[in-house]
Chain A
Amino acid sequence: MGIKILTEHINVPGIETLEVYRKHGGYRSVEKALKTMTPDEVVEEVKTSGLRGRGGAGFPTGMKWSFLAKPEGVPRYLVCNADESEPGTFKDRVFMQKNPHALIEGMITSSYALGANTSYIYIRGELMFVLRILEKAIAEAYAAGLLGKNIMGSGYDLDLHVAPGGGAYICGEETALLESLEGKRGNPRNKPPFPAVKGLFASPTVVNNVESIASVPWIVNNGGAEYAKIGVGRSTGTKLISASGNINNPGVYEIELGVPVEEFIYSDEYCGGILKGKQLKAVVPGGSSVPILPANLILKTAAGEDRLMTYESLSDGGFVSGSMLGSGAFIVFDEDQCIVRNTWNYARFYHHESCGQCSPCREGTGWMEKVLHRIEHGHGHQQDIDLLVSVAKQIEGNTICPLGDAAAWPVASAVRHFRDEFEWHIKHPQEATLPGAVYRGQLETITA
């Protein structure tokens, strides 16, 4: 068992109450930061830690914080992005539901570091029960003087609000989130200006994932250098992984970055191997928006090295033979899963969730979904495969926000790695549309 930073006390009974949380060392970082450190020192510690954004993009958190503009007389905001809605991702929900005070502690310490006096947790609309848990915890923190005016006698004031979204995936994009938080339609903004200069209510704003913020207290308590010792290379610290799919033990795992993928899938400590002893076919290692990888490429890189659970190792080989760690949603497919059907399912999701603001994504996501629907239901043509690749390319990189890329990558990568499966669907429509029909040719080439 590796070191646990986020989930150490997560199963302690009553940890969601302030009393039990404080008994287990809770809110120590607030005391330490507010009483003994300057905000810049906290930012410096986070920079030293090498903590990278846990929402998907993996941008260094300390760097993001240091980009925050600090004009005189303008308020600054910290917004926690709890709009976790990528298919396969459920780590933040479990974390907030079980240990709400850990997020609140992170919010106080981070807000202090950024000089924000009002902070928001933007939570996904479907998670109303988590919102209530958070609100209860915030009320406890206010009553204990951990929020509000003059926190712990340090002279620092902070108001923390929880705001629910309407359940739109697009509002997880930081500028769409800010629009939504301002009460507008959740359309992503054009960048620049970036939120660090002009974010919430046209003021400098930092938007961070739940997990990133929740990692800050440990960094403040133990020092950034200590955090940087965990992990491999530039992937420091621990990461929550939402493991799902055809595995024996689906769930949320906290891993030290650097665990080999093979160990993560097959060790009993984590996923516990493939369900019913079947063969591994493919893995989506970072949530539905990252490229899918076939079994041979997820276990080993194209160069033959072991693939590790780190930002660098998973993206080794670029989009030709690599993928991304993303938000850490590890989705495993066994030999009985149909990649065409799965790709169609993803395309359907992105079609449904496109905000419709910019044309490539609005029209392209629907187009890809319809073509994939056709192939899956036995009405595909041979040229449809190239059409999918070409449409994905027309969307990728040409949109306002990354949703266009997120919609294009899974389709492009599925065609890249499982082209014969698509061809089989088109050539043998009657067989392919039988219930439970799966193409197995690809698998033989993998095991050979």
Chain B
Amino acid sequence: MAKITFDGIEVEVADGTTILQAARKIGGSVVPPAMCYYTPLKGSGGKCRVCLVKVTQGSAKDPRPMPKLVASCITPVQDGMVVENTTNEDVLNARKGIVEMLLINHPLDCPICDQAGECNLQDLSYEHGVSATRYEEERRTFNKVDLGPYIQLHMTRCILCYRCVYTADQIAGNRVHGVLGRGDAAEIGTYIENIVDQEMSGNVIDVCPVGALTDKTWRFKNRVWFTKPMDAHRDCPTCSGKVTLWNRGDQVLRVTARKDEYSEVEEFICNTCRFEKKEMSDWTIEGPRHINRASVISANHYELPVVNVPIVPNLPASTKKNLPQH
């Protein structure tokens, strides 16, 4: 076990845990954001650089600070390590800079993007970005690519997190897409026109942090914040069949895997569940899905609002009012 201090909070984790996972054990607003790291995917992380943190003490044995900011998603903890994230000005400035970099070639077409509302880049820019851009050059653009009957690739929105590449390698198998080209001309592609239609390939849509890979059965059907998430399951021969349905009324508009507060899926689901089972009768409904994210998809659900919980605890009695009961 290793004991580390993260933003002044002590936490004990198993040896070999990454700083990011240790911070997630604490939870809340101290957790560094992550755009490319994805816990279920081996080898992911280290690329987007938004999770950079400052290690002010390497370990109890060697208390020297690390010279550069380190990517918390891939750096393992050492016993006695002291890490600063939200308490360090340099970290916040560096993160702001990286968010700016991620956005300079992003089309910012959120109003017509299917990912809007549950987009990690959108959340990240709200939290760490600036409202104006200093970039006045032409943005890099690509043509849309159809990757078969179910998935559309909108490369212009891509931030090259490589998550879909790892998913194809580790989950779907028989990978036919990858990163072509280099620098800011690098793109996700299939080289020759190939169809991404492996049984589990639809998961690339779930792992995509932005709207680069979208579900063609759902494109432009609705906005995510108008749909109501419901946990449901079915007896599926290929996957666990545990999914989240996104409904409008009794219509199933979209099926995704169940994602946690860091947008990471609990279990990957197969293409049949995702794309072909769009009737309520296909599913056994478990109940409303609780979405615990700062973004807009956490609102407007079937869940009953929790009332009469004081937002600021321990207020003097004089300030307390009787709120109407639901």
Answer whether A and B are interacting partners. Answer: yes
Interface positions of A (Cβ within 8 A of B):
168, 170, 185, 190, 351-360, 362-367, 370-371, 374, 387, 390, 393-394, 397-400
Contact status A190-B74, CB under 8 Å? yes
**A351 touching B182 by the CB < 8 A rule?**
no
A-B contacts besides A190-B74, A362-B160, A363-B102, 5 pairs, CB < 8 Å: A168-B182, A351-B184, A357-B162, A359-B49, A366-B183
Query: Are B48's CB and A356's CB within 8 A?
Result: no
Bound-state CA distance A397–B48 (Å) is 14
Q: Which residues of B contact A353 (CB under 8 A)?
A: 182-183
Query: A356-B179, A357-B47, A360-B49 given as contacts; is B185 within 8 A of A398 (CB)?
Result: no
- Chain B residues in the interface with A (C-beta under 8 A): 45-50, 52, 68-69, 71, 74, 94, 97-98, 100-102, 104-105, 134-135, 137, 140, 159-160, 162, 178-179, 181-186
Q: Identify 20 residue pairs between A and B in the complex whose beta-carbon atoms are under 8 Å apart, listed by A's number.
A: A190-B71, A190-B74, A352-B183, A356-B160, A356-B179, A358-B47, A358-B48, A359-B47, A359-B50, A359-B101, A359-B102, A360-B97, A362-B160, A362-B184, A363-B101, A363-B105, A366-B184, A367-B104, A374-B137, A390-B97
- Given contacts A359-B101, A360-B98, is CB(A399)–CB(B49) below 8 Å? yes
> Which residue of A364, A374, A397 is within 8 Å of B101 (Cβ)?
A364
B187 (CB) vs chain A CBs: closest residue: A356
Contacts of A394 in B (CB 8 A): 94, 97-98, 100-101
Complex Cα distance, B183 from A205, in Å, reads: 27
A199 to chain B, nearest CB (A): 16
Give complex CA distance A170, B69 in Å.
22
What B residues does A351 contact at CB under 8 A?
183-184
A358 lies within 8 A of B46 (CB): yes
- CA gap between A362 and B181 in the complex, in Å: 12
Q: Does A357 contact B104, Cβ atoms closer than 8 Å?
A: no
> CA–CA, A182 to B179, complex, Å?
17
Task: Report the minimal beta-carbon distance from B131 to chain A, rounded to whole angstroms.
Answer: 17
Can you list the 7 inter-chain pairs with the closest CB atoms, starting with the nearest?
A394-B97, A356-B186, A190-B46, A363-B101, A354-B183, A370-B137, A366-B184
Cα–Cα distance between A119 and B151 once the two chains are bound (Å): 45
Q: How far is the CB of A435 from chain B (nearest CB, A)?
A: 25
Chain B nearest CB from A187 CB (Å) reads: 8
The minimal Cβ–Cβ distance linking A328 to chain B, given in whole angstroms, is 25
Q: Which residues of B contact A387 (CB under 8 A)?
A: 134
Assess the A356–B181 pair: CB atoms within 8 A: yes
Tell me the smallest distance from the CB of A15 to a CB of chain B, in Å. Answer: 38
Taking the closest CB of chain A, its distance from the CB of B230, in whole angstroms, is 35
Query: Closest chain A residue to B180 by CB distance?
Result: A185
Chain A residues near B71 (CB-CB < 8 A):
190, 400
